[in-house]
Each structure stands twice: as C-alpha cells, then as structure tokens.
Chain A
C-alpha cells in the first residue's frame, strides 16, 4: 500500500512537471500568435508550420545561452531567485485536481498529488511565496531599475493577498470546506457558485491578474517604463525559469478559478473533464486578450484600486454573505 502510493505520487509529480513545463513553452507561442492576431500582425511564422517550432527554437536558444552573473550582484540570491519562481509555481499545483478521478485497468487514479483539506489556502500561500522570485531577483541585481521593480512587486504582493483572501472567504463560508475537491462536489449538487457569489468571482478574477503579474497589473516588469524590471540583469535559462514560472502560474490559476466558481469538472464524467479543460483554456485566453486590449495601470492607481475599491467591496460581500447564511 505504502509503496504503491509512493510510486503513484512520484509518477503524478513527474507528469505534472513535464506537461506544464511544455505547456509553459507552448503558452508563449499562443501568447505571441494571439497578440499578433489582435494587433494585425503575423507573429512567429518562419520556424516550422505556422511558426509552431518557434517554441523549440526559443528553448534551444535559452538553454545554450551563456549564463552571465554580473559583477556586483549578490551571487547566491541572484542565482536562486528564478528557481523560487518556477519551483513555487509547480508546488502550488500539488493541491489542484486537474481531472476527475478515473481508473486504468481497475486501478483508481486521482489526478491530484495531495488532497489536503486546506487546498485553497495552500495554493494561495504558495503562489504568494512565488512573488519572492521577482522581489529577490530585483533586490540582488545591483540595478536601480530592478530595485524599483522589486519594490513594486512587494507592494502588489502585500496589497493583493488581502483581496484574494477576502474575496474567497464568502465561497468558503458557503461550501464549508477548503478543499477544491469539496468545492467541485458541492457545485455538482447545488449549482455553480458564480451565480450565488458573482461579486467574489469578479474580485478573485481581478486579483488573479495581480497574483500572476499580468497586464494590466504588470508593474513588476513594466516594459515601457523600466526595461524588464527584475529580469534586466538575467540571461539564458535563469531568465527562462522566470518565464516558465509565470506561465505555469497562469495555467494553474486558470484551473483554480473554474474549480472554485464555475463548477470545475462537474459530476466527474468525461464530458465534465473536457468542460474543465475548456474553461481553463478560456481563462488562459482571457489573460492574453486583456494584454492585447488594455494598457498597464500606474502603481498609485493599482494601490487605489486595491485598498479603496476592491477591499471594501470584498469585506461588504463577506458581511452580506454571513447575514444571508444566518
């Protein structure tokens, strides 16, 4: 029993790592194609059919590029920062049920690494730790633009954790559990939570953009003001790890939003599994769509949005939910 469980868990971890590292690469291809389509360009076209092999070309470039450590940086912190971003993104995936459980040759497989009963809290906490990557990278770089980016990263982190936590509190109160599997099962019986908690859904969705550092909250690496922010001094695979972390985070949060609010995989049929993948694809597409359609907000606007608008709404939502439930 013990050994079988161990082997099963290791296989799951390896599969998740491989699938989502590859998806992170393909995600960049999607991003470039969709942005190009929306901006009336062609995007990558030269390498392979429709530019599909561009991902491989980029991978070869990143792996073979020289790994430069600039003179005045704090060496160890500078080296470990990208690893933190990538590693925490994948650690967060441990509590996400990607598909309903299915059986291979009579052996029941649960596509979740660890069904701990505080799944949501764990995922949000680990994703929050992921913001240490940009922060440390920026602070260790000995570069004023990187430092500025790190400061913004810290500000976003401290602010938007509050909105994420408060917005998700109301659905947790209704379901009475912190496990994503319980959320899914509750919604399979009682209907989607987005209908009873539309405000929480919108707030969580907005905060997801801040958590993953995407446009319009892309202040950590605001390209048109501060070069590439925390990534300025990085080259080669260390820079690539930042990228893998960011895209993996986008995929994981795109899984978490439908699981919490949009019914997840429903009753666990094959159709439900595909529906979850479809919802995930929509939310991932929405990240790219927003990037094409909206400019970045200013840091002070970001803070105002968080503390003066989103947080009060979240608190009021929790209070009203509490009264209705009583």
Chain B
C-alpha cells in the first residue's frame, strides 16, 4: 500500500515540476523545478529497489542542473521574467501532432510489452554489484563509447575555454601584475 501511495505522490510531483519547467517564463523557477523533478525521479528507483541508481540519479543530476544554474547566472538577470519570442505557428502544430502520436504509443505499449522480457537488475549479490556486473559484461561497448564521448567533450571544453589564457593572475607576483597593467594587456589575463 505504501508503495502505491509513494508512487502516485512522486508521479504527481514529478509531472507537476516538469510542467512548471516548461511553462514558466521565470528562469529561476524553471531551473529549480527541473532540479526538483530530477530528484523526485530518483524516488522511483528507490521504490523499485534500485537504490544505487536512485542515489546516482541524485548525485549526477543535482550537479548537472547546478551547471545549468551557472549558465543562467551568466546569461540572464534571473530575478526578471524572460520575454519569449513567439516563433513559427507550424512548429506548435507539428509538436502537438508528435505528442498525440506519442500518447497513443505509450498507451499501446502494455499490449506489446507482454512479449518483452526485462533484464531485472536486482539479484542476490546486492544491486551495486549487479549494476557493475551488467555494465562491464553485457553493456561494456556502450559504456566505453560513452566514456570516449565524455573525453571528447572534456578536451573540446578545455580547448574552447583555454584559448586566450596566456597568463594567470594566480601564478604571477605582485610586480608582474603591475607591469602587465601598465602594458594594458590585462584583458588577456584570466584568474
């Protein structure tokens, strides 16, 4: 019974949070609702007994949304509402059609799902170990590909951010900084 109560509670909360994320024009509401929604999703993992995935969901997404916050901080005055540009009307029609098709698919999924056998991740060894075993045997290739993609993203991030970092104020002495200010090169130096 508790499971059912918890499921419906968190389902409602998650949908409400993501609804706010999509509809609000206040950047801070959108980001906070997104973070809250992501954390509420972890509840489903806990209900299903996949504790490890639940905790990872919290750790990963709270950090990821935090990065979004810092972008929000850089690009907007987050205490003001964002004026959205009203785009092409046809996009709205197209998205509505796709959404309708998706709803039909979602409701017809249970009919098909009888034929699908799920790889139930919880065994006797405890679910952290089970996740590890599955990740490093059956899904080793996708796991490695994901790792390489992250490596590519990291290196390109470093290249993009480090282009103009010729000098670092942290590593310079007081005299060097003053000399640099005299030469008016201070724009190039980043902390």
Contacts and interface: CB of A to CB of B under 8 A. Distances in A.
Interface in A107-147: 116-118, 121-122, 124-126, 128-129, 131-132, 135-136, 139-140, 142, 147
Contacts, number: 89
Nearest to B46: A116
A300 B73 CA distance: 19
B128 interface: yes
A281 B76 CA distance: 44
Listed residue (B54, B55, B128, B169) with the most chain A CB atoms within 10 angstroms of its CB: B55
A178 interface: yes
A301 interface: yes
Interface string A53-88: 000000000000000000011101100100000000
A84 B70 CA distance: 19
Contacts of A121: 52, 55-56, 59
B62 A77 contact: no
Nearest to B70: A154
Nearest to A162: B63
A150 interface: yes
A139 B78 contact: yes
A178 B26 CA distance: 39
Given A118-B51, A129-B62, A77 B170 contact: no
Contacts of A77: 28-29, 32
Contacts of A154: 66-67, 69-70, 73
A304 interface: yes
B51 A300 contact: no
Contact of B73 (A76, A151, A161, A177): A151
A273 B58 CA distance: 31
B43 interface: no
Nearest to B64: A158
Interface in B126-152: 126-128
B35 interface: yes
A73 B128 contact: no
Contacts of A300: 169-170, 191
B39 interface: yes
A126 B69 CA distance: 18
A117 B32 contact: no
A122 B46 CA distance: 11
Contact of B79 (A116, A126, A142): A142
Nearest to A120: B55
B66 A74 contact: no
A301 B128 contact: no
Given A74-B28, A77-B32, A117 B126 contact: yes
A235 B166 CA distance: 44
Contacts of A117: 51, 126-128
A177 to B, nearest CB: 8
B154 to A, nearest CB: 13
B66 A157 contact: yes
Listed residue (B72, B78, B79) with the most chain A CB atoms within 10 angstroms of its CB: B79
Contacts of B29: 74, 76-77
A118 B63 CA distance: 19
Contacts of B128: 117-118, 178
Contacts of A73: 79
B37 to A, nearest CB: 13
A310 to B, nearest CB: 16
B70 to A, nearest CB: 5
B186 to A, nearest CB: 15
A158 B70 CA distance: 10
A126 B63 contact: no
A179 to B, nearest CB: 9
Interface of B: 26, 28-29, 32, 35, 39, 51-52, 54-56, 58-59, 62-63, 66-67, 69-70, 72-73, 78-79, 126-128, 169-170, 191
Interface of A: 72-74, 76-77, 80, 116-118, 121-122, 124-126, 128-129, 131-132, 135-136, 139-140, 142, 147, 150-151, 154-155, 157-158, 161, 165, 177-178, 299-301, 304
- Which 7 A-B pairs give the minimum distances between C-beta atoms? A125-B58, A121-B55, A125-B59, A142-B79, A118-B51, A300-B170, A122-B55
17 contacts: A73-B79, A76-B29, A117-B51, A117-B128, A118-B51, A122-B58, A125-B55, A126-B58, A128-B59, A132-B35, A136-B32, A139-B78, A140-B79, A150-B73, A158-B63, A158-B67, A161-B63
